[in-house]
Amino acid sequence: MNQFKWQFIDGRGKKQSVGLLHGAKSGHLVIHCNSKVILVDFKVHQTKTYSVFIDDELCTITIERKGEQFLYGLDIDKEVDTPLNRVRKQIDKKDFYQTLAFGIGLVVLILGFSAGISIYNHQKKLHPLYGIDKNSPETHGRVSQITKGRSKLVSYFFVVDGEAISAEKSQPYAIKNKMPLKKGDEFVVKYVPDDPYYNRIDYSRPSLQQIQVYKKRVAEKYLSLFTETDPDYCHCLIETVYEFKGYAGLCDFYYLDVDLLDNKDHNQTSYQALIKDAAFQALLQQRCNAEN
The enclosing domain of 186 has a CATH number of 2.40.50
Q: Looking at the chain, which runs of residues are DSSP E strands? A: 2-9, 15-22, 29-33, 36-41, 48-54, 57-66, 69-76, 138-146, 153-160, 163-170, 186-192, 195-206
- On whether both 157 and 216 belong to a single domain, the answer is no
- The 3-class SS string of 98-123 reads HHHHHHHHHHHHHHHHHHHHHHHHHH
Domain termination residue (choose one: 168, 188, 206): 206
Domain termination residue (choose one: 77, 101, 117): 77
Q: Furthest-apart CA pair in the chain: how many Å?
A: 114
- On whether both 198 and 214 belong to a single domain, the answer is no
Domain termination residue (choose one: 206, 234, 262): 206
Q: What gap in Å lies between CA 275 and CA 146, rounded to an integer?
A: 33
- Angle 131-133-135 from CA coordinates, rounded to 5°: 115
Boundaries of domain holding 122: 85-126
- On whether both 159 and 217 belong to a single domain, the answer is no
Number of domains in the chain: 4
- Angle 138-144-147 from CA coordinates, rounded to 5°: 120
- On whether both 230 and 185 belong to a single domain, the answer is no
Per-residue pLDDT of the chain (292 residues; tens, 9 = 90+): 888 898 888 877 888 899 999 987 888 999 999 889 989 999 988 999 998 888 878 888 999 998 888 999 988 888 777 777 777 777 767 777 778 778 888 888 888 888 777 766 645 444 555 557 778 899 999 999 988 777 778 999 999 998 999 998 887 765 766 888 899 999 999 998 888 988 999 888 999 999 999 999 999 999 999 999 999 999 999 999 999 999 999 999 999 999 998 888 999 999 999 999 999 999 999 999 754 4
Model confidence, pTM: 0.54
